[in-house]
Structure 1
């Protein structure tokens, strides 16, 4: 998996000559493998102009998948109808545009029923501002559920 401490950029590395391997999508894995959502989102950001460092990130994800083939979402009977939500924000994460990444996961009892990890549409001037945006997205999802 691509570590959360690695900051990928549009300008780091050499351009790939054959982008078809890179563009063969990993998106379907995010539907069943929550642990891959952040890393796949991170490498898919460079889908249109991938560099060698981005390809190394994809290869790390594939190696992680190979070692964790039988991992997935486990659903168990819920005896409690309580919703629990968790949210996180990484302020000004992307070095190219300084936009923040926010994510959340929502549980019904012990089962995860909704999650998201995406780049915020606008640049936040302060970390508090990006945190409020992340909480607002989570609250919106909770109200919808």
Structure 2
């Protein structure tokens, strides 16, 4: 059973048996200029039958202010929004929304896009160091159309595994 799954996964990934590492050859990477972590996402992408439209990675970050900054936001929450927008802009991203929360475990939430996934980690490091936020949680968001395409891709891979 395990051998059948391994053979099917090699067939789906397009593994070259002549390569000593058995690494996948991915012709889909020829489209675009992917580098570093971004290219890793295509390593297990579905075949060309399932076509994902290009989208910028979208993230939601929830944050809690430390005690010193909580006092300063009582004077102007707009300053916090401007700082977050500036940090995101400096990294090449775009702030979509910024909210101060009234209830819940966090003091605020922002939604933003970046051209590359790893920029969100850089942003959270900057939030901690320069903006003085204590607790930060970031979630990568996906549009419902992309989620539908993921389901279609999963069905395709499942069919390959059953062969």
Is TM (by shorter chain) over 0.5? no
Q: Quickly name the TM-score band, shorter chain normalised.
A: under 0.3
Rg larger in 1 or in 2? 2
Normalising by structure 2, what TM-score? 0.20
The TM-score normalised by the length of structure 1 is 0.22
- Which structure's residues are more often helix, by fraction? 2
Higher RCO (CA 8 Å, separation ≥ 6 residues): 2
